[in-house]
Amino acid sequence: MGADFKFVHCADLHLGCRFSGLAAADPVLARRLAEAAFRSFQRIVDLVRTEQADFLVIAGDIFDEGTETPRTRYRFAQELARTAVPCFLVRGNHDHVTSWEDSIPFPPNVTVFGPQPSTKTLDIRGHPVEVTGVSFPDLHTKTNLAAQLHGSPDRYTVAVVHCSVAGIAGSGAGYAPCQKNDLLGRGVNYWALGHIHKRQAILENSPWAVYPGNIQGLNPDETGPKGAYLVAVTRGQAVPEFRATQEVLWQNVDLDITGKTTLNELIDGIAIPRDSLLSLTVRGRGPLDRVIRADPAGFARQIADASGCTVAGPHLLCGPDLDPAVLMTAPTLAGETARVLPELQQLSEKELADLLLKTWKAADTATDTLRELAAAGRLRPLLEDAARDLLGRLTEGPQ
């Protein structure tokens, strides 16, 4: 089906994201993240140039909001010009309207598809290749935009659309909703999708339908590598290859203090690329709980120094050891609970049932159940599990 060629597919750039909430707490990090999306897009342009891609498609949400600043639009336009190849853009829910179009126009190598579907044909080494697309007409469109697109059977067609495919995690509020079946039988060979921030191929071959994810993680939930797809088409068959371009790598790190007695044991197990942004959670039970809770911010700085990363958190879900002998000495509710347990352990199953029924006004059915559990020798294990759970809750500490 015509010439062999390559193109780059990205989406959800969110250029100009301000991170206003973070700016008050950590202005240095906020500035770094605000610049990160631009850095990532610059690497995508570098990818277009070094791989000698024939064109670039961007499937919506280029800007983080419709009122992008002049500087944001100008920098983006400069990067589009630097590609030196045709660039095809659609608008999504974040950029269904844009600013500064007259005073800062895009360069002549750029096509922005409007709210009515249209198609452009490229001549790639003497062979036609189609790019078709449609943009959001308004912010909360419920129009099935994908169903409006189709290709020509005699040429390779790339369809560009920002949409929510039903059943795909992360589809959000159902902007421009469609079904997988809407992507079939339309003469399209590759659906360049946008909107979902997690990269995934929802159809493979005949046709491909790919969400590249966003180009830069924007919060701790958007972990792992982010970037774009380099798509090589050979004899009409596409091979999409993900290329990471993110400036800041968000990573979730769970540390378990169980069985560890020193901070070195806990910290030495961290293997994360330097300059990542870590969302830190501490779990488990052990003596390190007291050390970490004494200075959580200091512990986070130790992790940052050891890993060469920026650390958000820690979120403490850990607790001390549940050694009753230790807890019994504590002048706390947990200590009082621990001191009662040995007395309960001396009682028979029948005596336990009698004690429960004496202190708890149970219904007849509950009384019968307790008697049956005691007769079967199953009441004590249930009470011991309940006691462990209670001690765990009482010793978790502040969250």
Range with lowest mean pLDDT among 51-65, 113-127, 345-359: 345-359
Beta-bridge partner residues of 393 = none
Query: Is residue 349 within a helix (H) or strand (E), and if so which, with residue range?
Result: helix 349-359
Domain identity same for 178 and 281: no
Q: Is 119 among the domain residues?
A: yes
Contact 210, 9 (CB under 8 A): yes
Tell me which of 318 and 130 has the higher pLDDT.
Answer: 130
Contact 367, 339 (CB under 8 A): no
Domain identity same for 339 and 359: yes
Whole-structure pTM value: 0.77
Residues in CB range of 233: below 8 A, 6 or more apart: 4, 5, 6, 7, 156, 189, 190, 239
Range with lowest mean pLDDT among 23-27, 92-96, 97-101, 321-325: 23-27
Q: Is 399 among the domain residues?
A: no
Q: Is 77 among the domain residues?
A: yes
What is the structure's pLDDT at 337? Answer: 81
User: Which amino acid, residue 376?
Assistant: A
What is the structure's pLDDT at 378? Answer: 85
Domain identity same for 267 and 235: no
What is the structure's pLDDT at 101? Answer: 82
Q: pLDDT class for 399, splitting at 50, 70, 90?
A: very low
Q: Is 106 among the domain residues?
A: yes
Average pLDDT, the chain: 88
Distance, CA of 243 to CA of 228 (rounded, Å): 6
Model confidence at 66: pLDDT above 70:
no
Domain identity same for 240 and 256: no
Domain C-terminal end among 316, 343, 366: 316
Q: For 264-320, how does the pLDDT look when each residue is reduced to its tens digit (9 = 90+)? A: 988 887 888 888 888 899 998 888 988 998 899 999 999 999 888 888 778 888 887
What is the structure's pLDDT at 213? Answer: 96
Backbone φ and ψ of 5, nearest 5°: -155, 175
Q: For 262-272, how does the pLDDT look when each residue is reduced to its tens digit (9 = 90+)? A: 999 888 878 88
Distance, CA of 53 to CA of 46 (rounded, Å): 10
Beta-bridge partner residues of 160 = 133, 192
Distance, CA of 316 to CA of 293 (rounded, Å): 8
Instruction: Give the pLDDT mean for 326-337.
Output: 79
Instruction: Give the pLDDT mean for 138-164.
Output: 94
Distance, CA of 190 to CA of 213 (rounded, Å): 16
Compute the C-alpha angle 278/244/191, nearest 5°: 120
User: Which amino acid, residue 142?
Assistant: K
What percentage of the chain has pLDDT greater than the value 70?
Answer: 92
Domain identity same for 153 and 269: no
Domain C-terminal end among 216, 244, 272: 244
CATH number of the domain encompassing residue 185: 3.60.21.10
Both tokens of residue 84?
């030196």
Distance, CA of 205 to CA of 238 (rounded, Å): 7
Domain identity same for 236 and 255: no
DSSP per-residue letters across 13-47: --BT---HHHHHH-HHHHHHHHHHHHHHHHHHHHH
- Residue 230, burial from CB neighbour count under 10 angstroms (0-12, 13-18, 19+): buried
Q: pLDDT class for 17, splitting at 50, 70, 90?
A: confident
Beta-bridge partner residues of 254 = 281
Contact 288, 257 (CB under 8 A): yes
Model confidence at 216: pLDDT above 50:
yes
How many distinct structural domains can be found in the chain? Answer: 3
Domain identity same for 347 and 288: no
Model confidence at 21: pLDDT above 60:
no
Domain identity same for 191 and 50: yes
Q: Is 198 among the domain residues?
A: yes
How many Cα atoms are found within 13 Å in the side-chain-facing hemisphere of 263? 14
Query: Is residue 353 within a helix (H) or strand (E), and if so which, with residue range?
Result: helix 349-359
Model confidence at 37: pLDDT above 80:
yes
Domain identity same for 150 and 84: yes
Domain identity same for 273 and 169: no
Domain identity same for 231 and 271: no
Instruction: Give the pLDDT mean for 356-370.
Output: 74
Number of Cβ within 10 Å of residue 280's Cβ equals 24
Q: Give the helix, strand, coil percentages of the chain, each rounded to 5.
A: 35, 25, 45
Tell me which of 362 and 194 has the higher pLDDT.
Answer: 194
What is the structure's pLDDT at 133? Answer: 98
Q: For 221-257, how does the pLDDT look when each residue is reduced to its tens digit (9 = 90+)? A: 888 999 999 999 999 999 999 999 999 898 889 999 9
Q: Which of 40, 357, 53 is nearest to 222 (CA)?
A: 40
User: Which amino acid, residue 310?
Assistant: T
Query: Is residue 350 within a helix (H) or strand (E), and if so which, with residue range?
Result: helix 349-359
Q: Is 120 among the domain residues?
A: yes
Tell me the residue range of the domain where 365 lies.
324-394
Tell me which of 346 and 364 has the higher pLDDT.
Answer: 346
CA 117 → CA 90, 151, 159, 312, distances in Å?
10, 11, 10, 44
What is the structure's pLDDT at 347? Answer: 87
Model confidence at 162: pLDDT above 70:
yes
Beta-bridge partner residues of 120 = 131
Q: Which of 163, 229, 220 is nearest to 196 (CA)?
A: 163
Domain identity same for 205 and 279: no
Contact 85, 109 (CB under 8 A): yes
